[in-house]
Amino acid sequence: MAEGREQRTYTVLVLLPVLVMAVVAGVDMLAGPEVGFLPLVSLGPAFAGLVGTWRRTLVVGALAMLLCVGLGIYDDLLLTRRGYTALASVAGVTVAGVVAAIMRGRREEELASVRSIAEVAQRVLLRPVPRSAGPLRVAVSYTSAVAEARIGGDLYEVAASADRIRLIVGDVQGKGLAAVETASVVLGTFREAAYEEPDLTQLGARLERSVGRELEDEKFVTAIIAEVRPKERTVVFLNHGHPPPMLVRRGGVVDFPRPASYALPLGLAAHGGEPPAAFSTEFAPGDQLLLYTDGVTEARNGEGDFYPLKDKGGLLRTGDAQAALDTLREDVDRYTGGVQDDDAAMLLVRYRPGRGTGRD
């Protein structure tokens, strides 16, 4: 949706110089030489310099110069002071537009280089997750609040073994490179400890120790850790101050399992409080589990209303897992009008009803 809107805006801006010059020419021919619209022809190369390359700007400037000469002859002003002033205006604006286009092109090349580096960093930090683990199907979605960015402070990871799959979704306090660095600490520890620690409580304690060593100045990470056990038809959670998981049952019922009491986010254990207690619920064939960050539930529409995630379970019940999650992400984008104030990460786990159903 946002990409389509940007493409339409770019197309309008590309055509704008020609449209402006056509309008100026038409008005000048109708109004006659007394009104003095001739210098406005320079608006063509001025607008061309905003979005076009320096070559396109130069071509538009040449067309503007020819149009200015033609209108000058039509108005019998070409060899007058007004005619010379109009020609000088077009030439000057064209030169300025060409210089601006060259400088903008260099900045765009630098931005493209930064984006490529960011994409490499994303592949290292947020690596592709396994898309299947036995009867489970996994899908992920990450949307950055900054249009130029590919990574931020939200994180996710999946660690699959023969009899279980462990997941984490978290949200680092703060923005920028510091948040990315903290996310890398959490993910690095999880990727190792998820295969070594026998239960979620010990896994959470290990994450707390790692984050506590790295973070300073009251910073923290909210996170929810889950362990899906397909053979036992159970999912176990450990919630460190994170939004509750969303369970969409096979029959369409939506549930948000919550612990008896929330624990402090990762990095705040030194302030006291009870450690998080694991809690579990049934996770049967046909059920779906969605872990997400508050960038989803706190997304607002034009009236300031929060996104009603609890009413959107039906969007996850169509297509394969990734297509369903993409549909949910697009719905959030439509709800906000494409304006994101925070990063948004989502991780969906679908327990397939069975191979004979034909569903993924």
At which of 96, 121, 146 does a domain end?
121
Q: Above 60 in pLDDT, residue 150? A: no
Q: Encode burial over 102-131: b for 16+ CB neighbours within 10 A, e otherwise.
A: eebeeeeeeeeeeeeebeeebeebbeebee
**Are 159 and 87 part of one and the same domain?**
no
Would you say 277 and 259 are in contact if contact means Cβ atoms under 8 Å apart? yes
pLDDT at 106: 85
**Are 186 and 296 part of one and the same domain?**
yes
DSSP 262: P
**Are 239 and 318 part of one and the same domain?**
yes
Encode pLDDT of 199-253 as tens digits. 999 999 999 998 888 776 667 899 999 999 999 999 999 999 999 999 999 988 9
For the purposes of burial, counting CB atoms within 10 Å of the CB of 149, is it exposed (0-12), middle (13-18) or buried (19 or more)? middle
Number of compact structural domains in the chain = 2
Q: Above 50 in pLDDT, residue 316? A: yes
**Are 116 and 262 part of one and the same domain?**
no
DSSP 267-289: T-GGG--PPPPPEEEE--TT-EE
Token output for 118: 């960011």
pLDDT at 13: 67
Q: Is the pTM of this model over 0.75?
A: no
Q: What percent of the chain has pLDDT over 90?
A: 36
**pLDDT category, 321, cuts 50, 70, 90?**
very high
**pLDDT category, 349, cuts 50, 70, 90?**
very high
Q: Which residue has the tokens 């996710």?
A: 156
CATH of the domain at 296: 3.60.40.10
Q: Which domain holds residue 271?
A: 129-357
pLDDT at 52: 75
Backbone angles phi, psi at 308, to 5 degrees: -85, 75
pLDDT at 343: 83
**Are 59 and 163 part of one and the same domain?**
no
